């Protein structure tokens, strides 16, 4: 039978590793996607002298891709330094899992985001973060790399789905090269809003599609 999931994804789905909470965690994150509804919680314990991740645990309120990615990413991060762990990409996680179905990639990118957020949380709490950067086009592009184009399963930026980005007076304007009645238009919009709306210096995000 032709399952959309690799054997490894199924293995992790059935027997996820590093599930749970850490008492008094040094860093926590909860990433959720309103588009697909999945959610990942991540707890970190960091050795403050060596900056190595001593322990890492996750919980998932999500589908098989979400559970499997949460599991693999905790295995990849455990024992590595926070700087190394920060560099773990969604692609590396997907490769470790023997691939993920294109349409499901945005459920799995959450786990990667959660890891980055948990590290950022740890850094913030421990005075390791410099001041907040203003939102520039480059920052927007960086965030958009975490929004999936469900048609290809790659991010909206690399698949040239974004036709224009403007920042004007604390408002971000994004034009998406997708028909407004495309089946994925609402999902893409929700994902973009979720990634950008909470920027400290942004009041509004306007996303428009082709008429």
Partner 1 sequence: MNKEMIYLDNSAVTRVDKKVLKAMEPYFFDNYAVATSEFAYTMGIEAKDALDQARMEIAGSLGAKKEELIFTSGTTESNNLALKGIMYNQKDKGHLIVSEIENFSVLNTAQRIEKEGYDVSYIGVDGEGKIKFEELKAEIREDTVLVSIQHANQEIGTVQNIKKIAKLLKDKDILFHTDATHTFKRIPIDVSEIPVDLITISAHTIHGPRGIGALFKRDSVKIKKIMNGGFQESNLRAGVENIPAAIGFAKAVELITEEENKKLKSMRDKLIERIEAEIGDVTLNGSRKDRIPQNANITFHYVEGESITLHLDMRGFAVSTGSACFSKSLEASHVILGIGGDHVRAHGSIRFTFSRYNNDQDVEKIVTAIKEVVENLREISPLGKEGSEKNEFSLQ
Q: What is the binding site for partner 1 (CB under 8 A)?
A: 13-14, 16, 19, 30, 34-41, 59-67, 103-104, 106-107, 150, 181, 183-184, 186-187
Rounded to whole angstroms, the Cα distance separating 82 from 20 reads: 20
Name the active-site residue from 107, 114, 176, 196. Answer: 107
Length of the chain: 211
Q: Which C-beta is closer to partner 1: that of 12 or that of 122? A: 12
Name the active-site residue from 36, 53, 156, 187. Answer: 36
Task: Measure Cα distances from 206 to 85, 149, 170, 172, 191 in Å.
Answer: 33, 18, 11, 6, 12
CB of 95 to partner 1, least distance (A): 22
Q: Please say if 36 is a catalytic residue.
A: yes
CB of 161 to partner 1, least distance (A): 15
CB of 137 to partner 1, least distance (A): 27
Rounded to whole angstroms, the Cα distance separating 209 from 211 reads: 6
CB of 81 to partner 1, least distance (A): 26
Q: Please say if 63 is a catalytic residue.
A: no
Q: Which C-beta is closer to partner 1: that of 51 or that of 60? A: 60
Q: Which C-beta is closer to partner 1: that of 104 or that of 199? A: 104
Rounded to whole angstroms, the Cα distance separating 125 from 56 reads: 17
Closest by CA to 105, choosing from 64, 51, 49, 60, is 64
Q: Which C-beta is closer to partner 1: that of 161 or that of 187? A: 187
Phi, psi of 15 (to 5 degrees): -130, 70
SS3 label, residue 124: helix
The residues annotated with a catalytic role in the active site are 36, 107
């Amino acid at each position: 039978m032709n399952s959309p999931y690799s054997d490894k994804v199924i293995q992790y789905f059935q027997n996820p590793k590093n599930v749970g909470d850490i008492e008094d965690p040094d860093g926590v994150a909860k990433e959720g996607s309103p588009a697909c509804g999945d959610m990942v919680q991540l707890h970190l314990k960091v050795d403050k002298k060596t900056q190595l991740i001593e322990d890492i645990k996750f919980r998932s309120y999500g589908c098989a891709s979400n559970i499997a990615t949460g599991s693999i990413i905790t295995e990849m991060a455990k024992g590595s330094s926070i700087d190394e762990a920060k560099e773990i990409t969604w692609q590396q996680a997907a490769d470790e899992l023997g691939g993920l179905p294109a349409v499901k990639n945005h459920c799995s990118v959450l786990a990667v985001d959660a890891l980055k957020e948990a590290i950022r949380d740890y850094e913030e709490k421990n005075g390791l973060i410099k001041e907040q950067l203003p939102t520039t086009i480059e920052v927007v592009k960086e965030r958009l790399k975490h929004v999936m184009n469900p048609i290809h399963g790659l991010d909206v930026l690399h698949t040239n789905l974004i036709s224009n980005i403007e920042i004007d007076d604390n408002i971000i304007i994004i034009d998406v090269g997708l028909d407004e009645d495309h089946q994925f238009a609402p999902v893409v919009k929700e994902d973009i809003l979720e990634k950008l709306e909470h920027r400290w210096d942004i009041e509004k995000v306007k996303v428009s599609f082709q008429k």
